Structure 1
């Protein structure tokens, strides 16, 4: 292990032998936790990228004991089949892993322009990296998101693809007012340096939503957000994630995150907490009608319940409720 000079919470497990860090134009950060086989599939999709851009991959192992992902990926880097490095983020948690990887990119790759993010349960299309970078440049966008298309382990679950938990927020490429997820994301280097570490608030470490909060704060600072509909990643969805209790828990969590992010956004303004709470109550009152409209439109009870669960989650957040789904990853 090669420890970083001033931070024993992060270490480098290994790197590709002919890595020229100054020549790298784009970085792909890939956090992983107990998914070695899926990690290898994600890396295979990144190896197959159709682009002339010089890019490197940073695998961020967040399981500091067994390190199954790091052990699986490291031979690919050491043989030079993949360009980049494998690192260990010793502090557990979603936000801790992202923060460590993004800081590593800034410290070790001085000239990259774009940082991209993909998760270890996702597969990138061959044009993914090129299209994300090109969209950022064409739109003049500082941050670009892309769709995460669900691939259900059981094909019979494909009907869930249009549920709000899985459906992308936008359908067309262009500038957008908000982004919500880092599962398929591009961030310009200057955004990271302007926002500064820690990039993601550790309050969201086991709940999720640190990415949504980061994106909200970046938009507040005036950074331009964009969407690339032509750069999807395919997200593997296990059968567990279409069970009613998981969908309900994720919907409630989305409501909690919505309240927490909005409170941070309004912080320092008059009656901020009161305004957020009143908005939550209004959404709760309207949610049965919104649900009925969804039911009439889709015929899906699960889809109809989504705005109700989100509204309930928003209100519960006012009383300290926090659904930390990542605290028990085996149930996520």
Structure 2
């Protein structure tokens, strides 16, 4: 917690695991944030039991001559594995009245936090989020299909300031919440190992009556290593999406209405995604074919998870859930097992946004 002589308005929480190289890029951007003299912020890194040199990276930026515009940079270690455990530890340790979340594989635009603070004041909102754009390896081609970019983390289809809604939801990579909201709706669900913990939190925020606002001016850039552009990674991500969407809709609609939603999802896959896949294959549109295939896989994963939820409820985790564990999947598919393996790409700006 904060010392009595420190006045901190916003705590920027960064949960990290075995990404020391990327973390340095992240911290370099976070200590260069503009504040317009309107607020003071700290950077709080939650090391989720990393085995690389993450502690050294935190120590480097905690030095007085490296912390830049931040009041301080500090780290805590959270031994329980999983991003929800790490983010919840961050909320508990945060000194600010506001908690902003930023991922360890992103770099923030200098105006990122100032724009979130301004949006919260302008809209009298207790939950605000911003834009995510992609930073690809030098020479890599930006995926042309919208869904592929969404799976890589880009926020698409939101060109103007607007409230979030059931379809357009905030992600925890660019999100700021008044800490009192957590007292009302609870923290991140630590049982959601396949991901979707931010969507679940927003579901509870929305159900509690809070209006969350988005601004395209608060920008973070998601660093995309080359391995994340592989089709295997895309398919794994699509399957994860299907599972956590199924859980969210089970909690939203309940077991009586969920079969109707399942039928609509099946119809969508049959009438929309399958023809799109066949058309893309015929025209040689590789991105379009991969996107449609991933959408069909998402539907398949959704239906399988929804069926298990109807039979067993939300408490039972099956083998398919374990296979889609966010932490274990990243280790296997992106190469996080070796220290420093997920190094940041040499950055180039992506092309025009849709």
SS in 2 for 1:84: strand
Task: State the partner residue of 2:115.
Answer: 131
Q: Structure 2 vs 1, CA of residues 282 and 200 (structure 1 numbering), >3 Å: closer, same or farther?
A: same
Q: Structure 2 vs 1, CA of residues 21 and 94 (structure 1 numbering), >3 Å: closer, same or farther?
A: farther
Q: Structure 2 vs 1, CA of residues 67 and 86 (structure 1 numbering), >3 Å: closer, same or farther?
A: farther
1:278 aligned to 2:265? no
Task: State the partner residue of 2:341.
Answer: none
Cα deviation, residue 72, structure 1: 1.5
Question: What pairs with 1:162-173 in structure 2 (closer than 5 Å)?
Answer: 162=146, 163=148, 164-166=150-152, 167-169=154-156, 170-173=158-161
Cα deviation, residue 20, structure 1: 5.6
Cα deviation, residue 37, structure 1: 1.4
Cα deviation, residue 101, structure 1: 0.7
Q: Structure 2 CA distance, aligned partners of 1:171 and 1:143?
A: 19
Per chain length, whose mean CA-contact separation is higher, i.e. which structure has more relative contact order (CA < 8 Å, sep 6+)?
A: 2
Query: TM-score normalized by structure 2?
Result: 0.78
CA contact (8 A) 2:239 2:298 kept: yes
Task: State the partner residue of 2:304.
Answer: 316
Q: Structure 1 CA distance, aligned partners of 2:26 and 2:296?
A: 35
Q: Which has the higher mean CA deviation after the structures are superposed, 71-80 or 307-316?
A: 71-80
Structure 1: stretches of 5+ with no match in the other structure: 1-11, 267-271
> Which one of the candidate residues 62, 66, 82 is aligned to 1:77?
62
Q: What are the Cα deviations for residues 135-155 of structure 1, in whole angstroms up to 9, with x where unaligned?
A: 122122221122221111253
The CA RMSD measured in Å over matched residues stands at: 2.4
Q: Structure 2 vs 1, CA of residues 89 and 31 (structure 1 numbering), >3 Å: closer, same or farther?
A: same
Q: Structure 2 vs 1, CA of residues 154 and 324 (structure 1 numbering), >3 Å: closer, same or farther?
A: farther
Cα deviation, residue 284, structure 1: 1.7
Structure 2: stretches of 5+ with no match in the other structure: 309-317, 335-354
SS in 2 for 1:182: coil
CA contact (8 A) 1:284 1:308 kept: no
> Which one of the candidate residues 194, 201, 208 is aligned to 2:184?
194
Task: State the partner residue of 1:5.
Answer: none
> Which one of the candidate residues 136, 142, 145 is aligned to 1:152?
136
Cα deviation, residue 195, structure 1: 2.3
Q: Structure 2 vs 1, CA of residues 88 and 67 (structure 1 numbering), >3 Å: closer, same or farther?
A: farther
Q: Structure 2 vs 1, CA of residues 160 and 123 (structure 1 numbering), >3 Å: closer, same or farther?
A: farther
Q: What are the Cα deviations for residues 99-153 of structure 1, in whole angstroms up to 9, with x where unaligned?
A: 1111111xxx2xx332111111100001001001111221222211222211112
CA contact (8 A) 2:61 2:73 kept: no
Q: Structure 2 vs 1, CA of residues 194 and 21 (structure 1 numbering), >3 Å: closer, same or farther?
A: farther
Q: Structure 2 CA distance, aligned partners of 1:228 and 1:273?
A: 35
Q: Structure 2 vs 1, CA of residues 246 and 104 (structure 1 numbering), >3 Å: closer, same or farther?
A: same
CA contact (8 A) 2:164 2:170 kept: no
Q: Structure 2 CA distance, aligned partners of 1:43 and 1:103?
A: 21
Question: What pairs with 1:163-312 in structure 2 (closer than 5 Å)?
Answer: 163=148, 164-166=150-152, 167-169=154-156, 170-178=158-166, 179-196=169-186, 199-204=187-192, 206-266=193-253, 272-291=254-273, 299=285, 300-312=288-300
Cα deviation, residue 67, structure 1: 5.4
Task: State the partner residue of 2:351.
Answer: none
Q: Structure 2 vs 1, CA of residues 114 and 229 (structure 1 numbering), >3 Å: closer, same or farther?
A: same
SS in 2 for 1:232: strand
Q: Which runs of 4+ in 1 moved over 6 A?
A: 295-298
CA contact (8 A) 1:139 1:174 kept: no
CA contact (8 A) 2:26 2:105 kept: yes
